[in-house]
């Protein structure tokens, strides 16, 4: 391990030792930080909300957009542990003053490279800590387990089963996934986009990836089950028995994708709304982090409407549970919110495993924490 790696590891152990692992057990965890939601709330802490799963409009306090124990795990002693919520709190506490400075109407401070790096880290966690991302992982695990059981358990029985990973694994993936996509934020120029009027919404999946959905397919994506079976039979016929052990049989190369854009490395831009009138925009990907201050853009009229429409349309489609706006927004109740559908797509023929992914799930929300009996 390098000196930097050893230092980071030592700092992590020191932080964990100083953290109360039960501090936030049983509390409501905001999947979008409260300091952002407050910018949409009125003086009573309320926002106007569209509940996508129930397909209904509501006015609620921002505390009701939180989820109890969403980032809590079970430690090796069998106790609930909220260290992940504490870590997210540290990241949010470091980011809030930067956002406050950026949105201040009184001054235009120069952002340091450390400030810009903190914004990239905040955005990478915000892209991976959401209920939709967790539910997508659950669907991938369900597909994998059912694929492994094919031929051993009948398809009819597999269709009745649901296999889900433990919350510990899901919370751990939040952190590791954020580390993996961090360079795709850090290596882009960043701009603060200000609009001439409050037009922007917020949702439980607030990072917008301006990239095509399911941007690529494999040749095998277009094969039917019958064609895959025929390819395997041809392999049996043409490959001698003594060579089959050295040459694995041809299977199907499987293409898995979300039904919303996730191409952090291929996106033209990445966007995170900060308030009804402001958003951060990360531009085209570069080879190294750009050494420059945050650019400041002001959009008015048609340009502002176009930017807001792009952001709001994307959030209305990618949110899992809720989309929120200001209570005073007279256009919110008449906005079109698309119905929920499949969260993932898999090109894997027709079987119990693929059907569990390619059809709207019976349960849209991720599983809640359970303590081993």
Q: What is the pLDDT of residues 84-117, one digit of tens each?
A: 888 899 999 999 999 999 999 887 778 999 999 9
**How far is the C-alpha of 27 from the C-alpha of 20, rounded, in Å?**
14
Return the closest-CA partner of residue 141 out of 177, 159, 166: 166
pLDDT at 130 over 50: yes
pLDDT at 260 over 80: yes
What six digits make up the tokens of 335? Answer: 């906005």
The tens digit of pLDDT for each residue in 135-165 reads 999 999 999 999 888 888 888 888 888 888 8
End-to-end CA gap in the chain: 39
Please state the pTM of the whole predicted model. 0.89
pLDDT band of 373, cuts 50, 70, 90: very low
The predicted pLDDT at position 16 comes to 55
| Mean pLDDT over each residue of the chain, to the nearest integer | 89
**How far is the C-alpha of 27 from the C-alpha of 252, rounded, in Å?**
45
3-state secondary structure string across the chain: CCHHHHHHHHHHHHHHHHCCCCCCCCCEECCCCHHHHCCCCCCCCEEEEEECCCCEEEEEEHHHHCEECCCCEECCCCCEECHHHHHHHHHHHHHHHHHHHHHCCCCCCCCCHHHHHHHHHHHHHHHHCCHHHHHHHHHHHHHHHHHHHECCECHHHHHHCCCCCCHHHHHHHHHHHHHHHHHHHHCCCEEEEEECCCCCCEECCCEEECCCCCCCCCHHHHCCHHHHHHHHHHHHHHCCHHHHCCCCCCCCCCEEEECCCCCCCCCCCEEEEEECCEEEEECCCCCCCCCCCCEEEEECHHHHHHHHHHHHHHHHHHCCCEEEECCCCCCHHHCCCCCCCCCEEEECCCCHHHHHHHCCCCCCCCCCCCCCC
pLDDT at 265 over 90: yes
Q: Would residue 26 be called left, alpha or beta, if left means φ above 0 and alpha means ψ between -120 and 50 degrees?
A: left
**How far is the C-alpha of 135 from the C-alpha of 289, rounded, in Å?**
32
Return the closest-CA partner of residue 55 out of 340, 328, 316, 361: 340
Yes or no: say if 28 and 85 are a contact pair by the CB < 8 Å rule.
Answer: no
**How far is the C-alpha of 142 from the C-alpha of 183, rounded, in Å?**
29
Could you give the percent of the chain with pLDDT greater than 90? 60
**How far is the C-alpha of 248 from the C-alpha of 59, rounded, in Å?**
58
The tens digit of pLDDT for each residue in 47-84 reads 999 999 999 999 999 999 999 999 998 988 888 988 88
* Torsion (CA) 97, 95, 315, 340 in degrees, nearest 10: -130
The predicted pLDDT at position 258 comes to 94
The tens digit of pLDDT for each residue in 268-316 reads 999 999 999 999 999 999 999 998 899 999 999 999 999 999 999 999 9
The tens digit of pLDDT for each residue in 225-255 reads 888 888 877 877 777 666 666 666 777 788 8
Which range is least confidently modeled, 19-33, 173-187, 288-302, 307-321? 19-33
Return the closest-CA partner of residue 44 out of 327, 275, 330: 327
The predicted pLDDT at position 70 comes to 92
């Amino acid at each position: 391990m390098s000196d930097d790696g050893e230092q980071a590891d030592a700092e992590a152990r020191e932080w964990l030792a100083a953290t109360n692992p039960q501090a936030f057990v049983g509390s409501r965890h905001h999947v979008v930080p409260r300091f952002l939601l407050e910018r949409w709330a009125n003086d009573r802490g309320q926002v106007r909300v569209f509940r996508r799963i129930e397909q209904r409009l509501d006015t609620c306090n921002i505390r009701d957009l939180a989820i109890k124990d969403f980032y809590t795990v079970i430690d090796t002693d069998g106790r609930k542990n909220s260290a992940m919520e504490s870590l997210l709190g540290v990241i949010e506490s470091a980011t809030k003053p930067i956002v406050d400075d950026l949105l201040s109407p009184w001054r235009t401070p120069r952002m340091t490279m450390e400030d810009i790096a903190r914004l990239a880290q905040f955005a990478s966690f915000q892209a991976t800590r959401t209920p939709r991302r967790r539910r997508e992982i659950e669907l991938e695990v369900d597909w994998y387990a059912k694929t492994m059981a094919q031929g051993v358990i009948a398809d009819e029985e597999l269709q009745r089963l649901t296999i889900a990973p433990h919350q510990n694994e899901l919370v751990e993936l939040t952190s590791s996934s954020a580390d993996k996509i961090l360079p795709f934020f850090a290596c882009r120029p960043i701009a603060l986009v200000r609009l001439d009027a409050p037009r922007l919404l917020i949702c439980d999946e607030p990072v917008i990836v301006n990239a095509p959905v399911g941007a690529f397919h494999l040749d095998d994506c277009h094969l039917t089950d019958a064609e895959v079976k025929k390819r395997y039979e041809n392999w049996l016929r043409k490959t001698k028995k003594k060579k089959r052990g050295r040459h694995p049989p041809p299977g199907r190369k499987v293409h898995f994708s979300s039904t919303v854009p996730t191409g952090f490395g291929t996106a033209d831009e990445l966007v995170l709304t900060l308030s009804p009138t402001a958003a951060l925009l990360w531009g085209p990907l570069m080879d190294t982090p750009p050494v420059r201050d945050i650019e400041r853009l002001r959009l008015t009229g048609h340009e502002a409407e176009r930017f807001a429409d792009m952001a709001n349309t994307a959030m209305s489609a990618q949110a899992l549970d809720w989309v929120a706006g200001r209570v005073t927004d007279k256009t919110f109740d008449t906005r079109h919110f698309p119905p929920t559908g499949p969260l993932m797509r898999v090109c894997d023929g027709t079987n119990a495993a693929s059907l569990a992914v390619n059809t709207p799930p019976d349960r849209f929300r991720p599983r809640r924490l359970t303590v081993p009996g």
